[in-house]
Amino acid sequence: MTAAILDLQQAVFEALKESGALVAALGGARFHDVTPANQRFPYVTFGRATAYDWSTDTETGSEHLFTLHVWSKHRGRKEALELMELAREALHDRALGLEGHHLVNLRLESSEVRFDEDLHVYDGAMRFRAVVEEE
């Protein structure tokens, strides 16, 4: 299952990079697993990821729940919400190519935007569910 989530994360980042509108709105391909020091806002990070086995007697597969975070210092929620919509368009119900695995489906399950008072930034959390089978 570990290899599947790594393949999925790579495919997610590739799909986000292919979204010209999202890359333009971010001011570049600012997609990170770990946020680099002094990263300019806005940007997107891959957050919590959980995998569950759902293999059967005849097929090997897994369910993956992961979070993308959209980070914005813009005054108000507007920028975070617009970036989240562009990310949703790039990923929701898309057929992403995975190496060594087959993506059955990928869906946005929930999203929320909150203001982090300690960091003075908006954090847009998007929770996705992906079902993956081994090839």
| C-alpha dist (Å) from residue 64 to 61, 88, 91, 118, 129 | 10, 17, 14, 30, 6
CATH of the domain at 41: 3.30.2000.30
CA distance 58 to 117: 50
pLDDT at 1 (0 to 100): 57
pTM score, whole prediction: 0.93
Contact between 104 and 25 under an 8 Å Cβ cutoff? The reply is: no
Q: What rounded mean pLDDT belongs to the chain?
A: 95
**Per-residue pLDDT at 23 exceeds 90:** yes
pLDDT in tens, 37-94: 999 999 999 999 999 998 888 888 999 999 999 999 999 999 999 999 999 999 999 9
**Per-residue pLDDT at 2 exceeds 80:** no
**Per-residue pLDDT at 21 exceeds 80:** yes
pLDDT at 55 (0 to 100): 86
**Per-residue pLDDT at 36 exceeds 60:** yes
CA distance 64 to 7: 11
Higher pLDDT, 18 or 59: 18
Closest CA to 131 of 96, 106, 95, 109: 106
> What domain range includes position 10?
2-134
Number of domains in the chain: 1
pLDDT at 56 (0 to 100): 86
